[in-house]
Structure formats: structure tokens, C-alpha cells
């Protein structure tokens, strides 16, 4: 049997790169990726196509020849130092128009299945404890990134409704794993250095997803017949408070988490005065997802526990420090 040909966009990114490495190790796929610049960490078996960014004018024809599955992981994500006076327009240009351009050409190339990596931000920014988001809840995006991902989802559904190409949408929560950057890496560093943190009395609940679990769900969606034209949320299936998460990371580091029980109300007020309300929401607010649809339709359960995922993440961090 001929190997399936898979195109992964964003192959130099955190998710895209890990997905390509996993697929390359299985030797069951002919692999392609699209990159803006050369990436030395790509597996040797991956054929790379250079593209000038995810713009609405990119010609994807060569990259899409004989492709069976597209995994669209590339996107314009949160920009820490946003320079644009109109961020929503910039997000729409890449995440909506750029995505639709790729999808239209995928239809013409007779791609069988288009897997779109969206975001839980399509559902919203927070949940009431005990009331988790589901994949079929009404949309409630707040920021420009979430709005653009929501609009891309809707446009993709409309596009494929009159074609034979199947669409699968996956909305991950916060993704962590070996090589994680940004705030998650900062937390590991703080705990590794023994920095006292004022996060010892937080009673929120948040869902996370390990890189391995997300990749396993994506692979399940490559060919499972029940995945066609469905939306799935991605998490580890275990929800923790920020305090519990920090304690688990501390245990993985084999170091005590030095957490001080500062009142959350005071920290929220301080964050508001400093214009850091979004950060406060991530630290102190709840965001839970219900992944029971994944089990019901796909028979999928996360193969890796939260503790296993955190241990793998921390071990990779420790190796990087040697």
C-alpha cells in the first residue's frame, strides 16, 4: 500500500515540528511542510517547500500535488509587542484569508481531509467552575486572535459544504511539552531556581493538553471516519488549579514549590492597576473543557496523563540546561 502524503504547515513551530518528527518516526507517511525559512531541525524524510508567509496570495499548487491530508497548524498567534494599529485586520489577513486560500487550493488538488488546528479561544476566555466548554457550544471569542480563528472555522465549514473534502477542526487548550516556551517555561524556571511565588491559594480549574496527547488526537483524525466534518476540543482530561500545577511541576523537578498564600483578590486588583488583566485571568481564572465527544465519536482518550506530560516537559528542560 502506498504511503499517505501529508502536508503540515508551520513545520518549524512547536506543534508542527513535533508532529513531523512523530510522523517521520512511524515511516508510514510521505511528508511535506511549508516554511518561510530553512529549518535545520526537520527530519531528513520531510520535503520542505518555501512559502512567503501565510498570505492570501501564496501558490500552494506544488506542495499539494497528491496530498491526502493537510494539517494546518500555521497561524498568526498572540503578538507580545503588537505594533499594528488594527490587530484584527492583521489577524484576519493571515488566519482567515490565508487559511481560506490554502483550503480552496486543497479542494482543487483533491485533498481528502483538511485538519484545522484552531484554538479554545473560539469558545471563549473562561468558564464557570464545573461548567466546561464543549465542542458544540456557541462561539464566544474575545480577542482578535480568537475572533480570527472563529471566522476561519466558519469560512472553512462553508467552503467544504459543497465539496468532497472533509474538514476536521481541533481546538486545543494551552499546549505544553518538551521545548515549550513563553509563560510555561517561565514557571518551570522560577520553580527550578526556588523563587517564592504568591500563588499558594488559587482554587481555579484549568485544562491543559500535552504535546503528545494533541498529536495522538491529530493522528486519530487522519483517517477515522467519524471525525469527518466534526469539531473536537483537546485536553489531557485532567483539570488542575494554578497552585496544583505549580506543585506538580515542583515534584517533577524534585524541588519544593515555594508558594505563598497571597489573597487572590489583592493580586487581581494589582494586575488590573498594572493593565495585566489578561495574565491575571490565566493565573486565577478557570477554563475547563469537556472532551467526552472525543471518546464518544472516536473512542479516543488521552494516552498520557498530566503527570507524565509534565515529567517529560521538565526532563527536556533539565536536559537543555546541561
* 145 assigned to active site: yes
Catalytic member of 29, 116, 145, 176: 145
Q: CB-based burial of residue 27 (10 Å sphere; 0-12 exposed, 13-18 middle, 19+ buried)?
A: exposed
Q: CB-based burial of residue 319 (10 Å sphere; 0-12 exposed, 13-18 middle, 19+ buried)?
A: exposed
User: β-strand 206-210 against 239-240: which pairing, if any?
Assistant: antiparallel
Q: CB-based burial of residue 148 (10 Å sphere; 0-12 exposed, 13-18 middle, 19+ buried)?
A: buried
Give the whole-angstrom CA distance, residue 48 versus residue 40: 11
Scan for cell 518538551, then name that residue: 178
Q: CB-based burial of residue 265 (10 Å sphere; 0-12 exposed, 13-18 middle, 19+ buried)?
A: exposed
**Residues designated as active site:** 145
Amino acid at each position: 500500500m502506498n504511503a499517505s502524503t501529508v502536508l503540515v504547515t508551520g513545520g518549524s513551530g512547536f506543534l508542527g515540528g513535533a508532529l513531523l518528527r512523530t510522523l517521520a518516526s512511524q515511516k508510514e507517511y510521505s511528508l511535506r511542510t511549508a516554511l518561510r525559512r530553512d529549518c535545520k531541525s526537520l527530519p531528513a524524510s520531510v520535503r520542505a517547500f518555501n512559502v512567503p508567509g501565510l498570505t492570501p496570495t501564496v501558490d500552494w499548487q506544488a506542495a499539494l500535488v497528491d496530498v491526502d491530508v493537510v494539517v494546518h497548524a500555521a497561524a498568526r498567534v498572540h503578538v507580545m509587542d503588537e505594533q499594528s494599529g488594527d490587530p484584527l485586520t492583521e489577524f484576519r489577513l493571515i488566519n482567515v484569508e490565508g487559511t481560506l486560500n490554502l483550503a480552496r487550493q486543497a479542494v482543487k488538488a483533491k485533498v481528502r481531509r483538511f485538519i484545522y488546528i484552531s484554538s479554545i479561544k473560539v469558545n471563549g476566555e473562561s468558564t464557570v467552575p464545573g461548567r466546561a466548554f464543549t465542542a458544540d457550544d456557541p462561539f464566544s471569542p474575545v480577542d482578535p486572535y480568537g475572533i480570527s480563528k472563529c471566522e476561519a472555522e466558519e469560512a472553512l465549514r462553508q467552503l467544504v459544504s459543497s465539496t468532497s473534502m472533509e474538514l476536521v477542526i481541533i481546538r486545543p487548550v494551552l499546549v505544553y511539552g518538551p521545548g515549550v516556551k513563553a509563560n510555561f517555561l517561565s514557571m518551570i524556571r522560577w520553580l527550578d531556581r526556588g523563587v517564592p511565588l504568591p500563588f499558594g491559594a488559587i482554587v481555579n480549574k484549568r485544562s491543559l493538553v500535552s504535546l503528545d496527547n494533541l498529536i495522538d488526537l491529530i493522528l486519530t483524525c487522519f483517517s477515522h471516519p467519524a471525525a469527518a466534518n466534526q469539531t473536537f476540543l483537546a485536553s489531557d482530561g485532567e483539570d488542575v488549579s494554578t497552585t496544583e500545577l505549580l506543585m506538580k511541576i515542583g515534584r517533577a523537578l524534585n524541588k519544593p514549590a515555594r508558594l505563598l498564600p497571597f489573597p487572590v483578590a489583592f493580586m487581581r486588583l494589582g494586575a488590573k492597576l498594572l493593565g495585566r488583566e489578561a495574565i491575571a485571568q490565566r493565573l486565577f481564572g478557570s477554563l475547563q473543557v469537556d472532551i467526552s465527544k472525543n471518546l464518544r465519536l472516536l473512542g479516543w482518550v488521552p494516552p498520557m496523563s498530566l503527570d507524565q506530560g509534565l515529567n517529560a516537559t521538565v526532563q527536556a528542560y533539565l536536559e537543555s540546561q546541561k
